[in-house]
Amino acid sequence: MGQIITTSPNEAAVISGVKGTRFVIGGCGWRWLVCETVQNISLELMTLQIMSNAAETIKGVRVSCSSVAQIKVRALKINENHDAQNAGAGYVDVSVNGYDKDSIQVAATHFLGDSERNIKEAILKTMEGHQRQIIGTLTVEEIYKDRARFSERVREHVYDDLRAMGFELVSYTVTSVDDENGYMQALGATQTALVKREAAEGKARNEAEARKQVAFYNAEADSQTASAVRESHVSVNKQREQEAQSDRDLAIKKAAFDAEVNRARAQAENAGDIEQAKQDQMIVRERTQQDVVKAQVKLEVADKEVQRVKVEREGNSMAELLAEKNRAEAVRVKAEADSARIKMLGDADAAAKRSVGEAEATVLRKKADAWKEYGDAALVQMIVDKLPELAKNMTAPLSQTKEMVFVSSDGKGPSQLTNDVGRMLSQLPATVKGLTGLDIRDVMNGKKKFANEKPEATEASM
């Protein structure tokens, strides 16, 4: 079972329940009985009378400010297009772009179910607080003279708070500003005196302007008179100038005619001199041409001489080039001969070194065969033969000692040095065994045993 819900354009029905929250604005909706509830919230304008009594300004003067504000739930999304051509006239193109359901939901969250009185009281406290706060940042003169700016600042301050409650400020107008100490009345008296002063100044300024205009017109008349006198004087001077110009032109023409007569007379007198000068010029021209021909002949002779020298130098260069080639060939042949000689010497040296190496290899092979034949006995014999040399090398540093001092409690200091040399020699078998694995004592014992057994074998044979 359900119920049809209808609303007018100035209210919104809030349907909440199992399907969440829905809004019906100026239309028709459906709600399920028992499972959903319906509450209405008004979208109409609310007119608030805002009073700020004894509000302190920035300079400590207390004033009372009264204003009227129109506030409503922000129900519509409005686009404002400011026309640039009509901006000066304050023309704004307003268009509606659907319902602002988010703001309606915020307002419903805060005030759904409250009476209009409670809603107005909450918003009125917010507006009065902001109005008092803005008064505290201004002077009395700023509030009194520029109420539009004061209203704009209040709008800017309350915008965010009202938006957070889901409301919007449609209009705000300051209706009166007054104080209890006569400060505003003093400002009015000051303004009245200012107006009177400006009126007196205006009157004096107008009278001065009138006198100025009269003086100007008098000066203009005098100027016109002087201008006429000046123009007549200029006309007389121009007439005299034209007369002088005519006299000058006449004198110039006379001088030109005289000059022409003198020029003709001089031409007749100088005709003979001119003809003689022409003849002299022809003679000079012929002589110059002859000099040019002589110079050309000398130039051709010089060119031939240059060609000859060039050919002669080219021949010398070819001869030098052939000589250089012959010398280079001789150097190459000599180098090849030296190279062949060095190669032959190198081959002979290599053959000699090869023969020496083969001989040394033969000696080493024979030594190896001897070692194989004699075995450990030969190695022991070689070590025993080296013992005196080892003893000599171990005591060789002592031969460089000039003086030795022995300190001993038993008088065996010098003999201890000799004993040390003997101990180092006695350690030789262990060293040889560690390096080669051959025990000299075993080899020596084997020889001794063989020597003891050999006579017995001889007696037995006998």
CATH top-level class of 45-181: alpha beta
Using CA atoms, how far apart are residues 399 and 27, in angstroms rounded to an integer? 134
Of residues 94, 77, 72, the one with CA closest to residue 166: 72
Instruction: Report, in angstroms and rounded to the nearest whole number, the Rg of the chain calculated over CA atoms.
Output: 72
Cβ(113)–Cβ(33) under 8 Å? no
List C-alpha distances in Å: 194 to 185, 198, 200, 223. Answer: 14, 6, 10, 42
What's the pTM? 0.39
pLDDT score of 69: 92
**Sequence-distant (≥ 6) Cβ neighbours of residue 365 within 8 angstroms:** none
CA dihedral 396, 399, 403, 406 (to 10 degrees): 40
In the block, tokens 């009015």 appear at 188
Using CA atoms, how far apart are residues 417 and 413, in angstroms rounded to an integer? 7
Using CA atoms, how far apart are residues 306 and 436, in angstroms rounded to an integer? 96
| Structure token digits, residue 251 | 């004198």
Cβ(113)–Cβ(39) under 8 Å? yes
Using CA atoms, how far apart are residues 188 and 428, in angstroms rounded to an integer? 135
Domain edges within the chain: 1-42, 45-181, 375-399+410-461
Which residue(s) pair with 21 in the sheet?
16
pLDDT score of 450: 45
Using CA atoms, how far apart are residues 21 and 41, in angstroms rounded to an integer? 14
Using CA atoms, how far apart are residues 138 and 60, in angstroms rounded to an integer? 10
Count of CB atoms situated within 10 Å of the CB of 67? 22
Q: What is the pLDDT along the chain (462 residues), one digit of tens a residue?
A: 788 888 888 888 888 888 888 888 888 888 888 888 888 888 888 999 989 888 888 888 888 888 999 999 988 877 766 554 554 444 555 566 678 888 888 888 888 888 889 999 999 999 999 888 888 888 887 887 788 888 888 888 899 889 999 999 999 988 888 877 667 666 655 666 676 677 778 878 888 888 888 888 888 888 888 888 888 788 888 888 888 888 888 888 888 888 888 887 777 777 767 777 777 788 888 788 877 777 787 787 877 888 888 887 777 778 788 878 888 887 888 888 888 888 888 787 888 888 888 888 887 777 767 666 556 666 667 777 777 777 777 667 766 776 766 666 666 666 666 677 777 767 777 777 776 676 767 766 665 544 454 444 444 443
Residue 271 sits at the vertex; the CA angle it makes with 266 and 276, to the nearest 5 degrees, is 135
pLDDT score of 70: 92
Using CA atoms, how far apart are residues 350 and 354, in angstroms rounded to an integer? 6
Count of CB atoms situated within 10 Å of the CB of 103? 21
Using CA atoms, how far apart are residues 447 and 182, in angstroms rounded to an integer? 150
Using CA atoms, how far apart are residues 169 and 48, in angstroms rounded to an integer? 11
**Which H or E run contains 45?**
none
**Sequence-distant (≥ 6) Cβ neighbours of residue 28 within 8 angstroms:** 4, 5, 6
Cβ(71)–Cβ(123) under 8 Å? yes
Ramachandran class of 34: left when φ > 0, alpha when ψ lies in -120 to 50, beta otherwise:
left
**Sequence-distant (≥ 6) Cβ neighbours of residue 77 within 8 angstroms:** 96, 97, 98, 99, 100
pLDDT score of 88: 46
> In the structure, how many helices (H) and strands (E) does the chain have?
9, 10
List C-alpha distances in Å: 99 to 200, 259, 394. Answer: 60, 110, 118
